A = this chain, B = another copy of it.
Amino acid sequence: MARINANYDKLTAGYLFPEIARRAAEFTDANPGVQIMRLGIGDTTEPLTAIVSGGLHAAVDRLSNSDTYSGYGEGEGNESLRQALADRYAERGVQLNASEIFISDGAKSDSANIQSLFSNDAVICVQDPAYPVYVDTNVIVGRTADAVDGQYEGLVYLPCTEANGFVPEPPSERVDLIYLCNPNNPTGAVATKAQLQAFVSYARENKAVIIFDAAYSAYITDPDLPRSIYELDGAAECVIELNSFSKDNGFTGLRLGWTIVPKALVTEDAAAGKVNTMWRRRQNTFFNGPANIVQEGALAALSPEGRRQSAEMVAYYKVNAKTIRDCLQSIGLTVFGGVNAPFLWMKTPDGMDSWAFFDKLLTETHVVGTPGSGFGPSGEGYFRLSAFGHEPDIARAVQSIRENLKL
């Protein structure tokens, strides 16, 4: 008599983006002919760079030829790609062995699956607001009770507020796993070296493990801000860092990311090296490596010319971020982020409810954004806008906000 995993029933019903799509469709149906402009979803819009495109075509040709075809790859990803990533970290003084880097089908998958390495009774700590995957996956595997007022009992939340510049202090209680997203989705905040060092110190003192999601790190241009947490002393003992090719190379649909599990990492009951071995076993048992052609595209992206073209793509989106930021400030709104991050975090006018502002923005300007409350209770009264979009579309959206939003 099979029974289901009843933890699924604890998930609070509507996932954010389907609800946004529903309201946008409702508006379009009621207002035929009106063109909706999207400034909300974190989806890339610019085409693959020429060098990545060439790398993918070459990979397809290789697989189409009897002499060069290959089948299964390594569950942890191609050695050459892992080495190329290690070399890139080395430029910033971070020494990693290729065997500490695992290629995957995206930072989302890894941020979802990494918790499975730890004990069922691990106490989980997340930022509030946060990327929903960190929370939902721990709910599904049973590390929480039900949600009350938008927060799951059994999780520890660190509020990110205007008062702390959206970068919280480490928790005051004992926790086991801490999810940090930096640059942050949704707030666009980026932690300083000192702020990150406080988390590393906490983790080392408490033998906690930090899951550090650096998927937006390519947007950090301020030289004083660390791009990898391993730039900090002691981080290799207590941090698993995730990253992605999505946002700086447009791989959102190609699916490619990586996770670093340092051999130095320790837990209460695991000596150095063990967690690294466990993740290798996990990836070779539950996964078989990402698509080989996509890995070859990524290898092209890491070549000197690939990195130049990737930097251009990031610069393009960063101009969008500035355009949106300048517009919102010019009409008197308060906005955070969008400088070393692709996300902007806007305070709703007059403390308006996030969803009420969503409806107002849609109705008055035909622009769709993302209500902050969708990322957690501390997101209430905020609104996320994203720099991903074609520049002319961003310009039109911004013009409409400037001309039509009634403040």
Contacts and interface: CB of A to CB of B under 8 A. Distances in A.
Contacts of A100: none
A40 interface: no
A293 interface: yes
B43 A64 contact: no
Given A2-B122, A60-B53, A293-B56, A70 B253 contact: yes
Interface string A261-286: 00000011110001100100110111
A385 interface: no
Find the residue from A47, A57, A120 having the highest chain B CB count within 10 A: A47
Contact of A268 (B3, B57, B119): B3
A109 interface: yes
A407 interface: no
A126 interface: no
Nearest to A269: B3
B1 A288 contact: no
A69 B43 CA distance: 11
A193 to B, nearest CB: 24
Contact of A292 (B15, B253, B269, B286): B253
Interface residues on A, range: 35 or more
A139 to B, nearest CB: 9
Interface stretch (A203-211, A336-344, A353-361): A203-211
Copies in the complex: 2
Interface string A17-37: 000000000000000000000
A112 B285 contact: yes
A66 B269 contact: no
A99 to B, nearest CB: 14
Contact of A1 (B176, B253, B287): B176
Interface stretch (A5-13, A317-325, A370-378): A5-13
A46 interface: yes
A265 to B, nearest CB: 10
A84 interface: no
Nearest to A105: B105
Contacts of A192: none
Interchain residue pairs A-B with the least CB separation, the first 3: A71-B252, A253-B292, A43-B71
10 contacts: A1-B176, A1-B206, A2-B207, A4-B275, A43-B72, A47-B66, A48-B63, A53-B64, A105-B287, A116-B141
